[in-house]
Amino acid sequence: MKRNKLPQFVGRLITAIVVLGITAFFTPGFGTSSIWVVALAVLLLTAFDFAISTFTSLFAHPIVKGIIGFVLCSITLYVVQYIVTGYGISWISALLGALVYAIVDYMLPAEEESSHTHMHHATI
């Protein structure tokens, strides 16, 4: 039986918006002007993550995936400020933000895709 992926995608997108909002709140030097700015930032973060994972083999090894994921998350959090008006972050805050993002994302329960696999909430 084929499931509709749209509700799952929307749920993951909303979760990512909440996680990034919490990250911005708890990270000094990381500011957003509205929920719409956070939503736009999440869409850009998702697009960057998709492009990186699609066109590179950086996430092939599980141990390297965590380190590279953290570095790419930091870089992406920093770069998005040049694209989205109302979003600002320093490079130190981008490092802290990537750490907070990972902690908040880790604490949220994972969605089950099947009885054997779990999917990560966030797009980063």
Q: Check pLDDT > 70 for residue 123.
A: no
| H-run or E-run covering 54 | helix 35-55
- Give the whole-angstrom CA distance, residue 25 versus residue 10: 23
- Give the whole-angstrom CA distance, residue 8 versus residue 72: 24
pLDDT tens per residue across span 16-39: 888 888 888 888 899 888 889 889
Summary mean pLDDT of the chain: 77
Sequence-distant (6+) residues with CB within 8 A of 11 are: 111
What pLDDT, on the 0 to 100 scale, is given for residue 120?
Answer: 45
Domain extents in the chain:
7-109
What pTM was estimated for this model as a whole? 0.69
- Give the whole-angstrom CA distance, residue 53 versus residue 55: 6
pLDDT tens per residue across span 56-87: 776 666 666 677 778 888 988 898 899 888 88
